[in-house]
Amino acid sequence: RGLDEQGLDLTLAIYPGRDQRMHEPCLRQVQPLAESLAAEIQTMPAKQRRTLILAGHSMGAQVAFETCLLLEQAGTSPAGLVLSACHAPHLSGRRLLSHLDDRRFIEQLVAIGGVSEALLANPDLLAVFMPLLRADFQATESYHRPLHADRRRLQTPTLLLHGSHDPEADQEEVGAWRQWLCGESRQQVMAGDHFYLTQRPRAFATQVLTFIEQSISPFHP
What is the per-residue pLDDT across 197-212, written as a single tens digit (0 to 9) for each? 988 989 999 999 999 8
20 Cβ partners below 8 Å, 6+ apart?
Answer: 14
Instruction: Supply the DSSP string of 42-81, one letter for each residue.
Output: HTS-HHHHHT-EEEEETHHHHHHHHHHHHHHHTT---SEE
6 Cβ partners below 8 Å, 6+ apart?
Answer: 205, 209
What is the amino acid identity at position 196? Answer: Y
Q: How far apart are the first and last CA of the chain?
A: 26
In percent, the amount of the chain with pLDDT more than 70 equals 95
Residue positions annotated with a catalytic role: 58, 194
CATH superfamily of 4-93+146-216: Alpha/Beta hydrolase fold, catalytic domain (3.40.50.1820)
Q: What is the pLDDT of residue 117?
A: 80
Average pLDDT in the 46-67 region?
A: 94
Q: Taking the complete model, does pTM exceed 0.85, yes or no?
A: yes
User: Which residues are paired to 188 by β-bridges?
Assistant: 161
Residue 150: pLDDT above 70?
yes
